[in-house]
Amino acid sequence: MKMTLEGFVEYKRREFCKAVQCPVQMELNKLAEASPAYEQTRQKCSNGCLYTTWQFHHWLIEKGYIISVSLKLKNNERTVLANIDKRLVEWIDQQVKAGNYRDRNEVVKSAINHFKKSRIS
C-alpha cells in the first residue's frame, strides 16, 4: 500500500544517482530503457553500487527526505517528524560518533529526560 504524506513528495527513482553523477547512471542515461545493454549496465547497480548506504541516507537527509515506516513499532513507540537545526543534528551525530550514545534516538530521549527533570525541580 502506497501512502503519500501531506506536504511531501516521494523520492524519484535514481534521483540520488543523477545528483551525484554516478558514472553508471551517466552510462544508463545514454541507453534505451529496458534494452539489453541498459539491463546489463543496470546490473552493475544491483550487484555493486559505487556508493554506500550511509552516503545515500545522508544525501536523503540533506535534501529533506524522510523514510516513513508503519506506526506498529516496538514498545508502543510512534514516529514523530521534526525539523531540527542542522548544527544541532551535527552535534547529535558527534555525540553518537564519540560513543556517548548508541544512536540519535538515545540522544533525543536523554535530552527530553534531562529537560523534564529540570522542569520538575
Asked if 73 and 55 sit in the same domain, the reply is no
Domain holding 20, by residue range, is 10-67
Per-residue pLDDT of the chain (121 residues; tens, 9 = 90+): 455 666 777 888 899 999 999 999 999 999 999 999 999 999 988 888 999 988 998 899 888 887 766 656 667 666 666 778 889 989 999 999 999 999 888 998 898 889 888 887 6
Per the CB < 8 A criterion, the answer to whether 20 and 51 are in contact is: yes
Asked if 63 and 77 sit in the same domain, the reply is no
Asked if 76 and 121 sit in the same domain, the reply is yes
| Alpha-carbon dihedral sign for residues 89, 12, 2, 38 | negative
> Would you say residue 3 lies in a domain?
no
> Would you say residue 93 lies in a domain?
yes
Asked if 73 and 111 sit in the same domain, the reply is yes
* pTM of the predicted structure, to 2 decimals: 0.53
Query: For the chain, what is the domain count?
Result: 2
